[in-house]
């Protein structure tokens, strides 16, 4: 197992080097989106309308942060169960999504799309949302504000600790 320090903008290029079980400290721009936001983004794609962010090369964190306490960039921000996004993930990956961050196993269709698109699935530690928030330096709602904690947010990660759960060759620590 290797350890990496990477910027989110480099994930597409870095993915072929990453192997299941590798550890990564991720910095840079990451977007939150859960199932309600995924549904709306899919509707925008199907209508040919503009998306809240460019999926090509992006990293999505499956999280719904709690309200931000005074003096902090974000509230508790732990991962949610990734399988809830499995219906949408293959389309997002086919549109260029570089990485997904969440917790738990993924369907065969998602694993196949990860391999097909040379992407990566990264796992964050569940139950450690308050600690994870310490690695997030900014948070801005950029779409679907009416969804509250499930709105799409642009986060800035600083050395956010992750484990490569599924690599671009189908290696999978969750089997």
Residue 72 DSSP label? S
Instruction: Give residue-wise pLDDT tens across range 43-71.
Output: 999 999 999 999 999 999 999 999 999 98
- Exposure string over 114-148, b if 16+ CB within 10 A, otherwise e: bbebebbbbbbeeeebeebbebbeebeeebbeebe
Model confidence at 175: pLDDT above 90: no
Q: What is the rounded distance in angstroms from the CA atom of residue 91 to the CA atom of residue 129?
A: 28
20's tokens: 């299941």
Per-domain residue ranges for the chain?
3-166
Q: Count how many Cα atoms sit within 13 Å of the Cα of residue 37 in the half-sphere of its side chain.
A: 26
Instruction: Give residue-wise pLDDT tens across range 148-169.
Output: 999 999 999 999 999 999 999 9
Question: For residue 88, which phi and psi values (nearest 5 degrees)?
Answer: -95, -30
Instruction: Give residue-wise pLDDT tens across range 66-90.
Output: 999 998 999 999 999 999 999 999 9
Q: How confident is the model at residue 1 (pLDDT cuts 50, 70, 90)?
A: confident
Instruction: Give residue-wise pLDDT tens across range 97-153.
Output: 999 999 999 999 999 999 999 999 999 998 889 999 999 999 999 999 999 999 999
Structural domain 3-166, CATH architecture:
Alpha-Beta Barrel (3.20)
Q: What is the rounded distance in angstroms from the CA atom of residue 4 to the CA atom of residue 22?
A: 8
Instruction: Tell me what pLDDT residue 12 has.
Output: 95
Among candidate residues 145, 167, 163, the one with its CA nearest the CA of residue 154? 145
Q: Which residues are catalytic?
A: 38
Instruction: Tell me what pLDDT residue 149 has.
Output: 93
């Amino acid at each position: 197992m290797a350890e990496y320090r990477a910027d989110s903008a480099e994930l597409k290029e870095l993915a072929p080097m990453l192997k299941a079980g590798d550890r990564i400290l991720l910095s840079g721009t990451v977007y939150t989106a859960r199932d309600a936001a995924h549904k709306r983004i899919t509707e925008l794609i199907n209508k040919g309308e503009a998306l809240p962010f460019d999926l090509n090369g992006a990293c999505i964190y499956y999280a719904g942060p709690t309200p931000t306490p005074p003096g902090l960039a974000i509230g508790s921000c732990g991962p949610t169960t990734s399988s809830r996004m499995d219906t949408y993930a293959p389309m997002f990956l086919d549109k260029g999504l570089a990485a997904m961050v969440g917790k738990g196993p993924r369907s065969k269709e998602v694993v196949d799309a990860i391999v097909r698109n040379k992407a990566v699935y990264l796992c964050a530690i569940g139950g450690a949302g308050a600690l994870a928030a310490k690695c997030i330096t900014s948070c801005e709602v950029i779409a679907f504000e009416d969804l509250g904690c499930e709105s799409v947010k642009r986060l800035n990660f600083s050395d956010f600790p992750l484990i490569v759960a599924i690599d671009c060759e189908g290696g999978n620590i969750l089997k």
